[in-house]
Amino acid sequence: MPDSSPLAVCLGEGLVSLVPSVAGPLEDCRTFHRSLAGAEWNTAIALASAGVGAAVVSRVGDDGFGRFLRAELRRHGVDDSAIEVDPEAPTGLYVKELRPLPEGSVDSAMHYYRRGSAAAAMSPETIALPDVSRLIQRAALVHTTGITPALSDTARAAQDAVFAAPRESGLISFDVNWRPALWRGRHDEGRAAITDYARRADVVFCTGADADAVFGTSDPDSLRTLLPQPRHLVVTRPGGATAYDGAERIESAALDAPVVETVGAGDAFAAGFLAGVLSGLSLTGSLARAHRIATRALTSTRDHID
């Protein structure tokens, strides 16, 4: 990756996703397809597909799944040099359960097996590793989400270290990605943490449903009043999005595209918007690019575009 190229660094957990070969209850599924998953890793792959230099900061286990995930990143042109290998803790995974819908697409439920994973042991020491600190120092953008601080206290401290690091011109992007199961028993703490990250970021993404759950409103203008600090705020809904660049506000409808499954589309959308910002596109252009890339994630049961 040339040092002169714009670089986006994505911080978060990579997971192996096991996807049934046919839709139905898990107890009836005999075969599964292995795939890469994890919100920040999905975004990194989509950024690379959009021509942006992308790297991932994370930890994986010293196991076959961890080696598979790193190989998948390299296959998609994403730098994996800042991924630490844990000799003891395993790589996290989840299993999808697919339910067929009448219109021909599928709905999915996720069953996670990530407690005690290698990525949950991310810490400020992770951020201080030489390969990691060099990447972050030269990054034009660091992207993370509300998932990482929910994994563990040390992972939250790692994200805090990224937000607190001195920056000259690099941007921080934050996708709310509210996961109530990860914050079980401490939802108020989670909402407060996510609100703090959103107020300190330069670019913020949030679905209407997550906005309602975390901030108490899904109305874009009300949300902008609550979060005036980030330059860019993007609020998505099934039919489109509302985006802000400072005081500028535009709305855009989603593109008409066939839908197999929606998981991962939000990560691809964020990558498209960020690619537009990094290449100097207007708010309208960045939003259009976001919609175009998001449609590519809707056509399969993988979480990332290929």
Q: What is the pLDDT of residues 259-302, one digit of tens each?
A: 443 455 889 999 999 999 999 999 999 999 998 888 875 555 44
pLDDT tens track for 25-80: 999 999 999 999 999 999 999 999 999 999 999 999 999 999 999 999 999 999 99
The verdict on residue 58 lying in a domain is yes
- Please answer whether residues 267 and 39 qualify as being in contact, where contact means their C-beta atoms are separated by less than 8 angstroms: yes
User: Of residues 188, 267, 303, 306, which has the active-site annotation?
Assistant: 267
| Residue 9 reports pLDDT greater than 60 | yes
| Helical (H) or strand (E) element with 253 | strand 248-253
At a CB cut-off of 8 Å and minimum separation 6, what does 218 contact?
Answer: 208, 209, 211, 212, 235, 237
CATH number of the domain at 181, please.
3.40.1190.20
pLDDT tens track for 183-239: 999 999 999 999 999 999 999 999 999 999 999 999 999 999 999 999 999 999 988
The verdict on residue 220 lying in a domain is yes
- DSSP for 183-194 reads TTT-HHHHHHHH
* pLDDT score for 296: 73
From residue 11, alpha-carbon distances to 40, 132, 146, 172, 173 in Å are 6, 10, 11, 11, 10
Domain carrying residue 219? 7-13+39-85+117-296
Name the packing angle between helices 39-49 and 265-278 (round to 10°): 50
The verdict on residue 93 lying in a domain is no
The verdict on residue 145 lying in a domain is yes
The verdict on residue 274 lying in a domain is yes
The verdict on residue 73 lying in a domain is yes
The verdict on residue 150 lying in a domain is yes
Question: Count of alpha carbons within 13 Å of 161, Cβ hemisphere only?
Answer: 21
267 is catalytic: yes
pLDDT tens track for 44-58: 999 999 999 999 999
Say what the pTM is.
0.91
From residue 45, alpha-carbon distances to 68, 76, 139, 190, 194 in Å are 15, 6, 16, 27, 24
Domain count, the chain: 1
The verdict on residue 197 lying in a domain is yes
Phi and psi, residue 47, nearest 5° = -60, -45
